[in-house]
């Protein structure tokens, strides 16, 4: 079969590789749609994020199979002990806890000391076929497209962020950023139990989507966000701020100023959930946060923990199946055939330049 192989940073090539063979507790999935995550794009380019050091060590020994944990496919082979039916449409949870370390034995798989990651520590779905443990497989309900399934992991992340904020009925939510994570956060808040939902973004097209998704107050690039939030919350500030816009300006993101904005817009005793991935070290408004007793939180996925629960994926897929959350409107670009993977990675790494909202998807025949 054909699969993406990383021959060095910035050199992702689609090569002929051996077909996967399932172990008794695994299944082989024929990939129908896959999208690169923003983290994968950064790792391909050699950015010092996430598992960069591990990847650099592996590359020192030669080319490595790389990428592909956000995908949809059809089970084509099932190991004898898998309990999964051939022909089922599925996706998989990317983090596989070891089940044997001290954390796993204490029922804390989110703190597993030796987790595996599909597409990083084992071959992933940047390929025509991928073998995954049956325990990680998530069945896809009827009526959800392959494209929506491949885009489900960011929605699971948005659900984790919402859960972390522990929003009580009617609480106000400010979402900073109207990119894919911001637009998902708005929809989850709307169909969760939020009261007034406010969004601050820059792109008129994305803000129009935010309005369609149920944001009550939509603030563009020229808005005085702090004042507008005060006005919408009877002068006290937002109960919860979901921050999704920070990150490198060269990738079209808003730098590190978003945490300052969040700290100025949240109410006394409120919560800020940091969804974006900011640099390891930067100047932060710690004094202001302490003075106002604001909790700074991180979702379980993306930073500070793993999200191995298939139940969140199942819930996310149900939200899409019911039409409560629209992920397909966020998928602006699709390429065809496995050989288009390097181009999809390049375009996803430069989403702003290509006018893409969701990562660029690759559809397989
Ligand atoms: Zn473990």
Q: Which of 37, 343, 351 is nearest to 203 (CA)?
A: 351
φ, ψ (nearest 5 deg) of residue 199:
-125, 140
CA angle 168, 169, 170 (to 5 degrees): 110
pLDDT given for residue 307 in this prediction: 61
Residue 301's pLDDT is what?
63
- The CATH number given to 2-151+331-363 is 3.90.180.10
Q: 200 and 176 in contact (C-beta within 8 Å)? A: yes
Cα(280) to centroid(ligand 1), Å: 26
Q: What share of the chain is helix, strand, coil (3-state, %, to 5)?
A: 35, 25, 40
Using CA atoms in the order 153, 158, 159, 162, what is the torsion angle rounded to 10 degrees?
Answer: 170
Distance in Å, CA 111 to ligand 1 centroid: 7
Mean pLDDT of the chain: 93
Task: Out of 3.30.470.20, 3.40.50.880, 3.90.226.10, 3.40.50.720, select the CATH number for domain 154-297.
Answer: 3.40.50.720
Q: How far is CA 324 from CA 213, 280, 321, in A?
A: 9, 36, 8
Compute, in angstroms, the gap from residue 98 CA to the centroid of ligand 1: 4
Quote the CA–CA distance of 147 and 361 in Å, as a whole number: 8
Task: State residue 254's pLDDT score.
Answer: 76
* Cα-to-centroid distance, 187 and ligand 1 (Å): 33
Distance 115 CA to ligand 1 centre (A): 6
Indicate whether 279 pLDDT > 90: no
CA dist 214 and 190 (Å) reads 6
User: Residue 308 — very low, low, confident or very high, per pLDDT cuts 50/70/90?
Assistant: low
Contact status, residue 247 vs residue 277, Cβ threshold 8 Å: yes
Which residue(s) pair with 197 in the sheet?
173
What torsion, rounded to 10 degrees, do the Cα atoms 105, 111, 115, 118 define? 130
Closest by CA to 131, choosing from 15, 30, 16, 22, is 22
**HEC readout, 157-171:** HHHHHHHHHCCCCCC
| Dist. CA 135–CA 117, nearest whole Å | 13
Rounded (10°) CA dihedral 87, 91, 95, 101: -30
Confidence of residue 251 (pLDDT cuts 50, 70, 90): low
Residue 123, pLDDT score: 97
Q: Could you give the maximum distance between any two Cα atoms of the chain, in Å?
A: 62
Query: Under a CB-based contact definition with an 8 Å cutoff, are residues 30 and 357 in contact?
Result: no
Q: What percent of the chain clears pLDDT 70, i.e. is strictly above it?
A: 97
Q: Where in the chain is the domain with CATH 3.90.180.10?
A: 2-151+331-363
Calculate how far, in angstroms, residue 180's C-alpha sits from the geometric centre of ligand 1: 31
In the chain, residues under CATH classification 3.40.50.720 are 154-297
8 CA → ligand 1 middle, Å: 30
CA distance 88 to 347: 31
The partner residues of 273 in beta bridges, in order of sequence, read: 242, 297
Counting Cα atoms < 13 Å in the Cβ hemisphere of 164 gives 27
Q: In angstroms, what is the span from residue 107 Cα to ligand 1's centroid?
A: 9
* Inter-residue contact 20 to 123 (CB < 8 Å): yes
User: Ligand 1 centroid vs 136 CA: distance in angstroms?
Assistant: 15
Three-state secondary-structure class, residue 341: helix
pLDDT digits (tens, 9 = 90+) for 26-57: 999 999 999 999 889 999 999 887 789 999 99
pLDDT digits (tens, 9 = 90+) for 99-155: 999 999 998 888 899 999 999 999 999 999 999 999 999 999 999 999 999 999 999
Give one word for 256, left, alpha or beta, with left for phi > 0 and alpha for psi -120 to 50: alpha
Distance (Å) from CA 110 to ligand 1 centroid: 8
Query: What's the CA-to-centroid distance between 149 and ligand 1, angstroms?
Result: 27
Residues 6+ apart with CB under 8 A from 76: 28, 29, 30, 86, 129
How many angstroms separate the alpha carbon of residue 105 from the centre of ligand 1? 7
What is the spatial distance between Cα 11 and Cα 202, in angstroms, rounded to a whole number? Answer: 33
CB 124 within 8 A of CB 95: no
Ligand 1 mean position, distance from CA 116 (Å): 9
- Confidence category of residue 306, pLDDT binned at 50, 70, 90: low
pLDDT at 303: 46
- 302/351 Cα distance (integer angstroms): 19
Ligand 1 center to 96 CA (angstroms): 9
How far does the centroid of ligand 1 lie from the alpha carbon of residue 313, in Å? 20
Query: Token pair for residue 362?
Result: 């690759």
Tell me the CA–centroid distance for residue 101 and ligand 1, in Å: 4
Residue with token string 């019911």: 322
Instruction: Check residue 110 and give its pLDDT.
Output: 85
CA of 177 to the centre of ligand 1 (A): 35
| Averaged pLDDT for residues 177-203 | 96
Cα of 106 vs centre of ligand 1, distance in Å, is 9
Average pLDDT of the segment spanning 297-309: 67
Q: Which two tokens stand for residue 202?
A: 């820059």
Tell me how far the alpha carbon of residue 192 is from its chain's centroid: 19
Q: How far is CA 278 from the centre of its chain?
A: 15
């Amino acid at each position: 079969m054909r699969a993406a192989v990383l021959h060095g940073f910035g050199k992702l090539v689609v090569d002929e590789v051996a077909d996967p063979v399932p172990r008794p507790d695994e299944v082989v999935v024929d990939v129908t749609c896959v999208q690169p995550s923003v983290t994968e794009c950064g790792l391909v380019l050699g950015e010092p994020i996430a598992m960069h050091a591990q990847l650099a060590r592996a590359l020192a020994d030669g080319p490595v199979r790389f990428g592909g944990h956000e995908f949809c496919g059809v089970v084509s082979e099932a190991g004898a002990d898998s309990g999964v039916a051939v022909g089922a449409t599925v996706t998989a949870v990317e983090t596989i806890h070891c089940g044997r370390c001290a954390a796993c034995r204490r029922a804390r798989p989110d703190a597993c000391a030796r987790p595996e990651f599909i597409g990083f520590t084992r071959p992933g779905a940047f390929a025509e076929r991928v073998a995954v443990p049956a325990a990680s497989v998530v069945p896809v309900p009827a009526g959800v497209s392959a494209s929506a399934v491949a885009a489900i992991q960011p929605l699971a992340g948005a659900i984790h962020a919402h859960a972390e904020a522990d929003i009580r009925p009617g609480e106000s939510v400010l979402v900073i950023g109207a990119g894919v994570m911001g637009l998902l956060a708005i929809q989850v808040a709307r169909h969760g139990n939020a009261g007034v939902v406010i969004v601050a973004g820059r792109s008129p097209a994305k803000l129009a989507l935010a309005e369609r998704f149920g944001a009550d107050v939509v603030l563009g690039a020229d808005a005085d966000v702090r004042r507008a939030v005060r006005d919408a919350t009877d002068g006290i500030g937002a109960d919860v701020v979901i921050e999704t816009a920070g990150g490198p300006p060269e990738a079209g993101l808003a730098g590190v100023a978003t945490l300052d904005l969040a700290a100025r817009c949240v109410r006394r005793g409120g919560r800020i959930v940091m969804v974006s991935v900011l640099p390891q070290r930067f100047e932060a408004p710690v004094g202001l946060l302490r003075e106002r007793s604001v909790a700074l939180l991180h979702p379980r996925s993306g930073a500070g923990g793993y999200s191995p629960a298939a139940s969140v994926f199942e819930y996310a897929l149900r939200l899409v199946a019911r039409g409560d959350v629209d992920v397909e409107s966020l998928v602006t670009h699709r390429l065809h055939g496995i050989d288009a993977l390097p181009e999809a990675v390049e375009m996803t790494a430069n989403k702003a330049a290509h006018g893409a909202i969701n990562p660029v998807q690759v559809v397989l025949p």
